[in-house]
Every structure is written in structure tokens, then in C-alpha cells.
Structure 1
Amino acid sequence: MDRGEALHWWQTRWFVAAAALLAVVPLLWPDIPPLVDLPGHMGRYRVQLEHAQHPWLLEWYNFEWSLIGNLGVDLLIIPLEKIFGLELAVKLIVMTIPPLTVIGLLWIAREVHGRIPATTLFALPLAYAFPFHFGFVNFALSMALALNAFALWLRLARLGRLRLRAILFVPISFLVWITHTFGWGTLGVLAFSAELIRQHDLRRKPGRPWNVGLVDSWVVPWFWAGIHCLVLAPPALLMLAWRSGAVSGQTTDMFNWRAKMLWITQVFRDRWQLFDIASVGVLFLLLFKAVRDPNIQYSRNLGLSAIFLLLVYIFLPRIVFGSAYADMRLVPFLIAIAIVAIRPKPGLSIRGAATVAMLGLAFYGARIAGTTWSFLLYDQAYDRELKALEHLPVGSRLVSFVGETCYNEWRMTRLQHLPGLALERRLSYTNDQWSMQGGQLMTVRYLSDRPRRDIARRFIHDPSQMVTDVQCPREYWRPVAWMLVNMPRDAFDYVWVIRPPAYDRRLEQGLIPLWRGEDGSALFKVDRDVPAPVPTTRDLPRPRPLKDFAEDGSQIVNSMSPDF
């Protein structure tokens, strides 16, 4: 705790402000933050804002407002779009997430330790962890809010303002839940573990008549910690109402140990595998050092929080309520809390604390620099592909095919949902939108004319936009040749292929090229006067032998799952 010593540079307010501003840097240049799922969400925002203004949107998409735990950016975009326009508004919202995460981690460290330990700086790069790169923006915003709410919870307890805390955290719990339910659940775990330690310490104070016995020291605190955390419970009623009946979704794939180990190694997954894995190694080296060094200890408060989060991670299925990557999203925050828990033992200081702080700052700066350069390269790829939209009429019926491989390649193209920008910019139909009732406010229905809808149903929503060279095991994706041959040409007016696998150009029969880009990308207009190509045996799906894959299956599992 604070021993009245002078603040070091990494413990000052100006450093907190500078660290938060540094977290914004990677997002300054790109017009559209290059996050995998974000372009698809932007298409949904456009429908949300203009659904009733265009009859073709009413025909293609169903949009109904309801109170669900996945509305963070969806609500913020309403007032901000009127001021900045949709794309800039989305960018500004996304730009707030990393600095909020950094501030939350530093604030938690300050409340728990009294001063920010130098080792806390190593946790800051986790503001740009794999879940954020994936474009789970509602989730990431909710977790950033949850970290800051937890810091406030700790501060009010430290000041003895328990009644004020109880009053404030009823609306705060609703705010975090509405942003995304995952943040609310994490806040509950963190708050309960912290309150459990506080209640335990109250009963160990000298002179307390019940400061004897196991029951009063360990059992009673569980009861009172639960009582204090009841102020966080009201959103559970909304959760029950939301996730009941037809919108409950599937919960499955528990104890997938191979996947859980992969998520840990991929916590920084972005572009350069060696750099990203080495960065994970730095964090685990620090955690291991804290266990072995006699001058360093873990805060019981945050140490218990990290243990609770670890248990949640172990028991959390990979798919919850139909949403994939549920357990993966927790990993960076589990590691961050464990790192923030590190501090020097009382009466001692970390040898060379300034050196440790400089190393931590260098690590943070290196990760920010790498992410900035990576985002610049992704932004250039976006710019090249989006030139196709200059040739696409407003309100057109567009089917898109985005190239993918059967291998779980470290660097994702970030193009998987780029077709969503055709909906956002040109109000065109796009087949990359998710259609999961209850998971988000918009579902896909495409056409009210049943025969035409039935013909196109395999091509109308995610993951029909993903194409490969051959049929991948355990995937819904189809080979590009099969898709070009079998797509219902009377249901769509235009075809957009984005970096597809190599295919026979004869399959473009009946498609008029309007634009061609690099790596095989092209925009076509469907010519219905020319018959579709006749499929051959090589145009049929051919599975890749399982022996060609790594032990983990080597495929991106449900990479198109919605941000929920």
C-alpha cells in the first residue's frame, strides 16, 4: 500500500494519461478499424439506422428492437452517427476501447496496491488482444467498462462508502450488461472475489470477538460477500427473460483442452507469429518470476480474482448460447489481472524498479508499434478491395465470395466480412450477415417471394461468403468452383469475389467483369442471357484428407460467429 513515498514516473497521473493516449495510436490512420467482424457489424448498423427508409432493406432484413445483452455500439451509434456519420462514429467508438482498458488496469493496480507497481506496465499491451482483433467490439467495450467499474468498486470499499457503492452499482450493472453480458459476468466475478477478501480481513482484525475459528474467518465472509454483490444481480432477470425459449441458443464443447491451450498461446495473435508468441512468453516469464522471487508477492485480492477467472475459463464451454469463442475471450483479462496482482513485498522494493518500468514501457511500446504497422497494412488491403464498390449500384443484390484456406493460419486476412461494407456504403444486399435470432437485433430473410428465397437460402447469410479451394473438413465453407457453378443467378445481380483461391476462368461464364483488382479479386454483373457454366467433376466439393491437417484440425472454427 501507499507508504508516503514520492511517486515514480510510472505512478503519476500524466503517465496514466500518456499510456491511454498511446493505446489510441494504432487506430488513428485506418478509416475503418481492420477488425475481422467489424465491417459486418457496420452493415447491421446501416440497416438499423435506415431500415424503414428503403423498401428493399425491409424485404431483405428483419430488424426489431429488443432489450438484449449485446447493444453497446448499437446504441452509441444512434446519436454519434448524426454528428460524425456512420464510419467515423464507429471509428471513434472503437478508438475508446483500448485506452479505457489501459486506464482500467492501471486504476485497479492503484486501488489494490496503493501505488502502480512497475510490473503492471507489462499488462497494458493486452488492450490489443486477439478478441479485440477479431472485432468483438461490444464484448471489448463491455470488458473495458467492467475493469473501470471494478476499480470504482475497490475505491468505494477502500473509502468505506459502501452505501454509495450499493446505490451506484445497480445502474452500473445494467449499463455493463446492456453493453455486453460477458462484461457483466466478469464484473460479478471480480467484485465477489474482492469483497470476499475484504470480509475475511475484517474478521481477522485484532480485538474482534469472532476473530477465532474457521467458520467466522472463512465461511461467514462468503455469505456477506454474496450479500454485498446482490446489487450486481438485477440484470440476471433480464438475462433469464432474454435467453429463454426459442432464443436460448446452443451451449456445447466443454473442456476442449486443446483449444483452451491454443487460446493462451494466441492471446496476442495478429500478423507475425514469432513476435506474437514471444510476447506471450514475456508475460509468462514475468508471472513465473513473481512466483520464484522472494521479494515479490501476489496481492491476495487480485490473486483470488485471477484464480476465480481461471476456474471460469476451465469450465466455460467454447460455445455459449450459440456464440463461439466464449472461453477464448476471457484469456487476455485473466492474464492481465494476474499480472496486475504482482507487487513488491511490504518493507521491500523491487530491485531496479525503474529498470522494470522501462522494460515494461518498452514492451508496451513495441506491441503498439507492431500493431500500428499491422493495421496500416490491413488498411491498405481494405482500400484496394473496396475500389470494387465504386462500380456497384446502390440497392443491388450482391453475393460475395471471400477466399479462405482450410488451415488455421496465424495471420487472418481481416477480409472475411468486408462485404458488409457493401451494405453499409451502397445499401446493397450482402450474404455475410449473421442470422441468429436473439443474438442480435437483425436477422436475414432476403426475399418475401418464397420460391426465390428457397433457391437462394444456401447463399443468403454467413458463412456462405467464405470459399476455399477444396472442401474443408468439419466446415460449412464450400469450394469457390462449386459456389460459382451453383449460385442462383436469378437471385443476385452482382458477384464480388475477394482474393479467392485459384479457379478456372471458364466458371465466369455469364458474369460480366466490371472491375478487377489484385490477387484475383473482381466484381461481376450477372448476365442472365448467358447460361451458367456446366459443372464438371472437378467443380464438385473435394474434401482435403485429414492427414493434411495438424492434430487440432487446423481450421478456423465458426470465425463468422456474431459479436455476442
Structure 2
Amino acid sequence: MIKTPHLVAEQAAPAALPKGSPRPWWEGRPFVAAMILLAFVPFLYPAIPPIVDIGGHMGRYKVAADLATSPFLQQWFSFRWLPIGNLGVDLIVVPLSKLLGVEPATKLVVMSIPPMTVAGMLWVAREVHNRLPPTVAFALPLAFGHPFMFGFVNFALSMALALLAFGLWLRLGRLGKSRLRAILFVPISFIVFFAHTFGWGTLGLMCFSAECVRQHDRGRSWWMAILRGAYHAAVMALPVLLVVLWRTEATGGLTHKWFDWDYKWQYLLRMFRDRWEAFDIASAAVVLAVPVFALIHPRLTLSRNLAFSGLMLAATYVLLPRIVFGSAYADMRLVPFAAAIFILAVRFKNETRFPLATWLAVAAVGFMLVRIAGTTASMAIAWNRQKVQLQALDHVERGSRIAVLVWDRCERWTLRRSDHLGAIATVRKEAYTNDHWPMAGSTLMTVRYPAAGWFQRDPSQIVRDPGCRHEGWSVRAALYNLPHDAFDYLWLIDMRPIPADWVDGWRPVWAVKGSILLKHVPLSEAGEEQRLRTLRTVRGPGR
């Protein structure tokens, strides 16, 4: 028989307090409501959520919603719905945009993902411990972890749904309603799958591990518990047929970068990566320290149920490659959720010691408030910058072709939120931009504009200086090779100072510090005065 590690609780969680007994404040409904509502705060102010990939997503939503009625979009894009595991936000925003418009619909859906994630975490903790542990709020800021801030919105939605579904799985198991659970989780598995395959796989792992523990607690050996756990979790296996069909029809999309330990270590430190490196790394250290503290403290421990789920997610993180089917950062996406599961596992060994519990609860809520305040400030700073940059679109005709170049400052900690800002031109002006990312088998939109050459799609908009860690266009090479006649405008975003002769043939029509919009004109029309104006206007953050 497999023995349970002594560092985690052997016995089940203690029962809830008797009905009518006063509960500590961190277990009450006002606390739950406050934590969920706090998760809405960071995105209340920005009109567009200022996360990295959101512009490209919004461009796709616009194409899906208006392609049939827009002759401009029809020139460059095609779109068809497919039953693939990467549809989550698209399925909600596209129909909702018919009522609200793409931008408000996107904001409404994206800002709802963190509160859903928080609600899922709280439900899981409540079901496992029969109460909310005082440390639970340490996990809640991970709803705004690196994957979400990077703009993986379909993935983030699927993980929010997976946590909510996991809470339901635990509750039905606790109530002994295994048959009802099996019936419900067939459609639930498809819902989570269509949001994003990753969430479906994570849900299966969590449910399997939790069921193994439940079966063992009912007196079965660990080997039999594993077999029973697999049997119960198998009700969620049907979407694998869609995976086989999807990947059979797909072309390209390599899976590689296995066991890249340097990146895997960095992703642990980057689980909160947003704007301020010291703040984000310190927050990651706090999160990693909480379960360690529980293991060494004489009165605390980890629930076997969630500890095993956390270990399974951690093992999956180690085994996952960095790129799966051409989709990058596959392993990175799992880090905040594995960390959250370990924190949710923390509990008292026996009865709750209220002086210690109160201090833990105050510290956890304080951590939540500090992270929410930091995220809110970061979003406001980013949106204030983007709001000014997007004024360039007031000077662009509808249906224009825009070459966008964004300067990469070589792996700075602060997330570069302008990578797909240019795609907002597709949303507002039905324009073509070169920062959309069609990938075989994983997206629904196709870009076709052969005249643009290399500048048809992402990542042609990213330009770097020599010496950067990642390869790519240099600023000068990109401007030299840009097919001028294929574009009406050149939009340089967050650009460093460049020589005026690099933009010969383009006339500036709008500029702010670091960003400039130029219109294509024959070189003969750009006299010396215009060249001097360009030189004065193309200024970067360092000037």
C-alpha cells in the first residue's frame, strides 16, 4: 500500500461549525462577496483591458462579427467557426458585440474572468475544508497572474470555469451524488473544452486526484483508489475525440522546448509579472512561502485532497514543453494555478487556533488588497498611455492598410502592452494591420494579403535592436524591407529615436512622445522641410 506523506493531513478536514454558531469574519458571506467584487476593480477604469494580446483578440472578434457586411475586411480576412478547444471568449463576445460593440463587449467579458476565478478558488477551498481557511486570500491575486496579464483570455476563462466545475465536483462527491455528477460533467467537460483545451485537461487532473483521495478515505487501497478515480473522471474524456479530429485536420504547429529549466525557474518568479519587478517577485515569494510555512508550522498542514492535486499540476508543469502545437508559453500558464491549489490546501491540523488564524487572515487580506491596488494602478497607467496612442486612429481613413512597428526593449520586466495595439485599427477603422496571428489548427481567422510579404502577420510588427535575446527584425532592417506600396500608413509605437532617412517616403500626420503615424507619399513629394519635420517628430522615450 502507498503511504501518505507525513507532511500532509492523514485525516479528513474537520467538520464545519454547528449551525447557528458565530463564524470568523473570513468565513462569512460578506467576505466572499468582498473578495469577488474586489476582482472587478482593476478593469473598471480602462475602456479596453490593457493586457498584452487583447488587441489581436479584438481584431478577430471584429472580423467574426462584421466580415459578412464589410467589403474592407473581406479584402484581407476570412473566418469560419470550427469545433476546436480555443473558443471561450469568442463565443461570448461575438454575439454580444452585436448589442454593445466589440470594445464594450470585450471589456465586460474580460473583466469578469478574474472574479469568476476568485469565486472558483473560494468554492474549492470551502468544499475541501468545510469552511474557508484564514489563508485563502493569499491565493486570490493569482487570478491576475502572468498568463492573464499576457492576454491569454480563452485560457483564463477556461481555468475560471475549471475551478468552478471542480468546486461542483467536490460538492457532489461530498454529498454522495456520484451518478448525478457523472451526468452533469459530460456537458460540463465540453463547455470547459470549448473555452480552451488547457482548462479541460486541468479540470480532469484535479478531479481525478481528488477522487483518488476520496476513494482512499472510504477505505480502499491506494491502487484501487487510483483505478476508481480514473473510472469516475472518465466521464470527462469525450472531448478527446474532438482533439483527435482537430489535430488530424490541422497542419504545422510544432511541440518542442522540453525541460527548459531556465525558463521554468523564471516562470516561477514571473507568476505575477506585470510592471514593477521587485513588487512582482516579492509577491511570488510570498505565494511560494505560504504552503512551505504550513508544512513547517506545528499547528498547520496541507489537505491531502488539494495537496495531491497541486502535486499533479506541479508534475504536469515539469513535463510540459514550452511550446505545444505551435502555442508558446504552454507550461508557464499552469504556474499561478498550481501555486493557488497549494495555498488553498493550507489548513489547521486539528481545531482552529483563532489568534493565529486571525493574524493569518489579516495578512492574507492585506496581501490581496496590496496586489489589487498595484494591479489597478498598473492598468490605469497602461490605459492612460494607450488612450493617447490610439488617438492616431482619428487620422486614419476607414479601410486603410497600416504597417505597425513596435519596439521591443529587450526583455524588460514590464509587460509590453503595445504588441497588438495596432489591431485596434481593425476594430475601429476596419483596417488591415500586420499584427494578427493566424495559426494552423488553433484559430479561426485567416489573413491573406500577399502584397505585404513578411509583413502579413504577427510577429512582423516586433522590431528589436542587435543584442536582444530573441531574434527578429532590427528597426532599420524592418523599415528597409517594408513594401511601401502595400501600405497607406506606417505606425511606429513606443519607438526609440531613429534617423529621419529611415522613414523616407512617409509623411508624419500625428505624433506623441515615442509614437508617430506617417502616411505614404512618393519620395519626390517629401521635400527637405518635410524631412526636417520627420526628424523633429520621431522621438522615443529616451529623448
Question: Structure 1 length normalisation: TM-score?
Answer: 0.88
Cα offset, 1:467, TM superposition: 1.3
Task: Classify the secondary structure of the residue corresponding to 1:253.
Answer: coil
Name the counterpart of 1:283: 287
Task: Classify the secondary structure of the residue corresponding to 1:117.
Answer: coil
Cα offset, 1:486, TM superposition: 1.8
Name the counterpart of 1:422: 425
Q: How does 1:103-502 map to 2 (within 5 A)?
A: 103-203=119-219, 217-247=221-251, 249-349=253-353, 351-405=355-409, 407-446=410-449, 453=450, 455-470=451-466, 472=468, 474-475=470-471, 477-502=472-497
Cα offset, 1:471, TM superposition: 6.4
CA–CA distance in 1 between the matches of 2:102 and 2:78? 20
Of 24, 49, 55, the residue aligned with 1:8 is 24
Question: Does the 8 Å CA contact 2:299/2:349 hold for their aligned counterparts?
Answer: yes
Identity of aligned residues (%): 50
CA–CA distance in 1 between the matches of 2:250 and 2:153? 25
Q: Structure 1 residues 441, 532: CA separation in 2 closer, same or farther (over 3 Å shift)?
A: farther
Q: For structure 1, which segment, 81-90 or 238-247, has the greater mean C-alpha deviation from structure 2 after superposition?
A: 238-247
Q: For structure 1, which segment, 133-142 or 76-85, has the greater mean C-alpha deviation from structure 2 after superposition?
A: 76-85
Name the counterpart of 1:523: 517
Q: Deviations over 1:69-126 (max 9, x none)?
A: 0001111013311222110110000111111111111111100000100011111111
Q: For structure 1, which segment, 156-165 or 523-532, has the greater mean C-alpha deviation from structure 2 after superposition?
A: 523-532
Q: Deviations over 1:174-195 (max 9, x none)?
A: 0000001100000000000000
Name the counterpart of 1:538: none
Q: Deviations over 1:406-457 (max 9, x none)?
A: x2111023011100101111111000000212111002111xxxxxx2x522
CA–CA distance in 2 between the matches of 1:318 and 1:23? 29
Cα offset, 1:56, TM superposition: 3.1
Q: Deviations over 1:279-314 (max 9, x none)?
A: 111122222211111111110100100010011001
Name the counterpart of 1:550: none
Question: Does the 8 Å CA contact 1:471/1:479 hold for their aligned counterparts?
Answer: no
Question: Structure 2 length normalisation: TM-score?
Answer: 0.92
Q: Deviations over 1:24-54 (max 9, x none)?
A: 1000000000000001110111011111212
Q: Deviations over 1:147-172 (max 9, x none)?
A: 00000000001111111111110000
Q: Which structure 1 segments of 5+ residues have no match?
A: 204-215, 447-452, 534-564
> Are residue 42 (structure 1) and residue 42 (structure 2) matched?
no
CA–CA distance in 2 between the matches of 1:147 and 1:58? 39
The one-letter code sitting in structure 2 at the alignment partner of 1:490 is D
Name the counterpart of 1:51: 67
> Are residue 65 (structure 1) and residue 65 (structure 2) matched?
no
The one-letter code sitting in structure 1 at the alignment partner of 2:68 is A
Task: Classify the secondary structure of the residue corresponding to 2:139.
Answer: helix
Q: Structure 1 residues 431, 532: CA separation in 2 closer, same or farther (over 3 Å shift)?
A: farther
The one-letter code sitting in structure 2 at the alignment partner of 1:484 is L
Task: Classify the secondary structure of the residue corresponding to 1:244.
Answer: helix
CA–CA distance in 1 between the matches of 2:250 and 2:352? 58
The one-letter code sitting in structure 2 at the alignment partner of 1:126 is L
Q: For structure 1, which segment, 12-21 or 49-58, has the greater mean C-alpha deviation from structure 2 after superposition?
A: 49-58
Task: Classify the secondary structure of the residue corresponding to 2:324.
Answer: coil
Question: Does the 8 Å CA contact 1:420/1:432 hold for their aligned counterparts?
Answer: yes
The one-letter code sitting in structure 2 at the alignment partner of 1:231 is V
Question: Does the 8 Å CA contact 1:512/1:526 hold for their aligned counterparts?
Answer: yes
CA–CA distance in 2 between the matches of 1:325 and 1:413? 16
Question: Does the 8 Å CA contact 2:303/2:347 hold for their aligned counterparts?
Answer: yes
CA–CA distance in 2 between the matches of 1:434 and 1:247? 15
Cα offset, 1:350, TM superposition: 5.7
Task: Classify the secondary structure of the residue corresponding to 1:402.
Answer: strand
Q: How many residues are aligned here?
A: 511
The one-letter code sitting in structure 2 at the alignment partner of 1:507 is W
Q: Which structure 2 segments of 5+ residues have no match?
A: 1-13, 528-543
Task: Classify the secondary structure of the residue corresponding to 1:67.
Answer: coil
Q: CA RMSD in A?
A: 1.5
Task: Classify the secondary structure of the residue corresponding to 1:307.
Answer: helix
CA–CA distance in 1 between the matches of 2:284 and 2:151? 20
> Are residue 32 (structure 1) and residue 48 (structure 2) matched?
yes
Q: Deviations over 1:331-353 (max 9, x none)?
A: 00000000000000123536421
Q: Structure 1 residues 99, 243: CA separation in 2 closer, same or farther (over 3 Å shift)?
A: same
Name the counterpart of 1:84: 100
Q: Deviations over 1:178-228 (max 9, x none)?
A: 00110000000000000001111112xxxxxxxxxxxx5121111111111
The one-letter code sitting in structure 2 at the alignment partner of 1:483 is A
CA–CA distance in 2 between the matches of 1:266 and 1:104? 23
Q: Structure 1 residues 422, 348: CA separation in 2 closer, same or farther (over 3 Å shift)?
A: closer
Q: Structure 1 residues 480, 532: CA separation in 2 closer, same or farther (over 3 Å shift)?
A: farther
CA–CA distance in 1 between the matches of 2:84 and 2:308? 30
The one-letter code sitting in structure 2 at the alignment partner of 1:424 is V
Q: Deviations over 1:517-556 (max 9, x none)?
A: 112x1111111354999xxxxxxxxxxxxxxxxxxxxxxx
Cα offset, 1:3, TM superposition: 3.9
The one-letter code sitting in structure 1 at the alignment partner of 2:516 is A
Task: Classify the secondary structure of the residue corresponding to 1:352.
Answer: helix
The one-letter code sitting in structure 1 at the alignment partner of 2:487 is F
Question: Does the 8 Å CA contact 1:344/1:350 hold for their aligned counterparts?
Answer: no
